[in-house]
């Protein structure tokens, strides 16, 4: 079986280093906001050329706390994409704000910037671009629109650690960047975890309080906050992998190039990379009108595949029952019917890619 991601291969390659890092944490008996958490925050801030990084319990909390730190309140509108994991818009709803969905560009699966201005109202307070599957969103026009309209920009980088837009790492362009260390991500722990980066001290300090019950001094609470702290073991594991993230991302790009060279059927639309962008291929996602048939064929040949995402957010029951969502978003709806993600991880072998491509080519 060729899996979507093989976490065991990477663990065995790093086993001695990871085991030692975890053992050190256990020996220290410091499990919450310990030295590895602090060092990871420093290392990730430095990696992005920013002054501040604040770790949290998971990627969803990263978005939620970022919104609160940017003062998003009940009734405010937040523009985002309908073609993403539900967490991106779920956090908006959790604050009793309103997600406003803008259609996507089918070649990158990211926000169509030409449609953002039409969705801005007096209630609009922020934009959440998602760097989906590891491809950067088109940040220059997004930032121009945000500046013109006094909007905050919160980058959802959950799938794109290390991706670059015109030489700048994603997450460092907007007001805030949010990351997930979920085990399948391109930079991952062995459980949940998240990180928020920013250039603004005020935002960073607010997030530090929010993640720790609204407190900056024990038992003194300035805000109503959350229990959202990255644990020391996960921080130690992510630190081991952070040293290799550029190497891992380069391996993903090599694998993507191998797929593109080997798959040669007109029925398949291969992923592309926009000019000035550096994709990290968290997912290698193709499009085909024969998606279900192809997925079944891959499965019959012991090859995993996955659909990210089968239902756009503007058609999800959770939002339809809560908001008056009338707009048709044809590109997101078409992509939801056609996308199929193939196995992708740094340790994926050239022979495995040839096998997968062979099954795809023969399926037609």
> Closest Cα to residue 39, out of 230, 216, 299, 324?
230
Instruction: Identify the residue with better confidence: 364 or 280.
Output: 280
> Can you say whether residue 286 is alpha, beta or left, with left for phi > 0 and alpha for psi between -120 and 50 degrees?
beta
Q: How confident is the model at residue 168 (pLDDT cuts 50, 70, 90)?
A: very high
What average pLDDT does range 289-302 have in this prediction?
Answer: 98
What average pLDDT does range 296-309 have in this prediction?
Answer: 98
What average pLDDT does range 180-200 have in this prediction?
Answer: 98
Query: Is the pLDDT score of 325 beyond 90?
Result: no
The per-residue pLDDT for 128 is: 99
Q: Per-residue DSSP letters for 156-172?
A: E-TT-TT-EETTEETTS
Mean pLDDT of the chain: 97
What is the CATH architecture assignment of 245-363?
Alpha-Beta Complex (3.90)
Q: How far apart are the first and last CA of the chain?
A: 22
Q: Measure Cα distances from 134 to 169, 217, 269, 273 in Å.
A: 12, 38, 17, 10
How many other CB atoms are found less than 10 A from the CB of residue 318? 12
- Helices 350-363 and 245-262, packing angle to 10 deg: 30
Phi/psi at 53 (5° precision): -140, 135
- Residue linked to tokens 């960047």: 177
Asked which of 173-182, 191-200, 316-325 is least confident by mean pLDDT, the reply is 316-325
What average pLDDT does range 15-42 have in this prediction?
Answer: 97
- Contact predicate 203/175, CB 8 Å: yes
For 198, the enclosing helix (H) or strand (E) is strand 194-198
pTM for this prediction: 0.97
Q: Do 7-242 and 245-363 share a fold? A: no
The per-residue pLDDT for 321 is: 87
The per-residue pLDDT for 327 is: 83
Rounded percentage of the chain residues whose pLDDT exceeds 90: 98
Query: Is the pLDDT score of 226 beyond 90?
Result: yes
Q: How confident is the model at residue 346 (pLDDT cuts 50, 70, 90)?
A: very high
Q: Which fold has domain 7-242?
A: 3.40.640
Query: Is the pLDDT score of 324 beyond 90?
Result: no
Q: How confident is the model at residue 326 (pLDDT cuts 50, 70, 90)?
A: confident
Joined tokens for residue 284: 């290698």
What average pLDDT does range 159-168 have in this prediction?
Answer: 98
Domains of the chain: which residue ranges?
7-242, 245-363
> Closest Cα to residue 111, out of 93, 77, 88, 87?
88
Query: Is the pLDDT score of 266 beyond 90?
Result: yes
């Amino acid at each position: 079986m060729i899996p979507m991601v093989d976490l065991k291969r990477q663990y065995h390659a790093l086993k001695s280093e990871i085991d030692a890092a975890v053992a050190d944490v256990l020996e220290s008996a410091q499990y919450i906001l310990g030295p590895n958490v602090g060092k990871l925050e420093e290392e990730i801030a430095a990696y992005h050329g920013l002054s501040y990084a604040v770790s949290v319990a998971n990627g969803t909390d990263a978005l939620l706390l970022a919104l609160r730190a940017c003062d998003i309140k009940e009734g405010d509108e937040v523009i985002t994409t309908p073609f993403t994991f539900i967490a991106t818009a779920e956090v908006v709803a959790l604050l009793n704000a309103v997600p406003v969905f803008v259609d996507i560009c089918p070649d990158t699966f990211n926000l169509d910037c030409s449609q953002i201005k039409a969705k801005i109202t007096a209630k609009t307070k922020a934009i959440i671009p998602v760097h989906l599957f590891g491809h950067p969103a088109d940040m220059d026009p997004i930032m121009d629109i945000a500046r013109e309209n006094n909007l905050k920009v919160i980058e959802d980088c959950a799938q794109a650690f290390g991706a670059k837009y015109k030489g700048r790492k994603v997450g460092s362009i907007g007001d805030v960047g949010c990351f997930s260390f979920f085990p399948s991500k391109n930079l991952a722990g062995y459980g949940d975890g998240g990180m928020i980066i920013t250039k603004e001290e005020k935002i960073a300090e607010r997030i530090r309080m929010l993640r720790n019950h609204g407190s900056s001094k024990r038992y003194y609470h300035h805000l109503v906050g959350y229990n959202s702290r990255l644990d020391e073991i996960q921080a130690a594991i992510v630190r081991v992998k952070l040293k290799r993230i550029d190497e891992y991302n380069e391996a993903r790009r090599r694998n993507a190039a191998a797929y593109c060279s080997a798959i040669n059927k007109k029925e398949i639309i291969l992923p592309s990379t926009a000019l000035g962008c550096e994709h990290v291929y968290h997912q290698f996602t193709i499009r085909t009108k024969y998606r279900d048939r192809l997925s079944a064929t891959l499965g019959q040949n012991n090859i995993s595949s996955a659909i990210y995402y089968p239902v756009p957010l503007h058609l999800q029951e959770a939002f339809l029952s809560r908001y008056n969502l009338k707009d048709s978003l044809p590109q997101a709806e078409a992509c939801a019917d056609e996308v199929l993600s193939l196995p992708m991880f740094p340790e994926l072998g050239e022979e495995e890619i040839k096998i997968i491509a062979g099954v795809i080519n023969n399926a037609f």
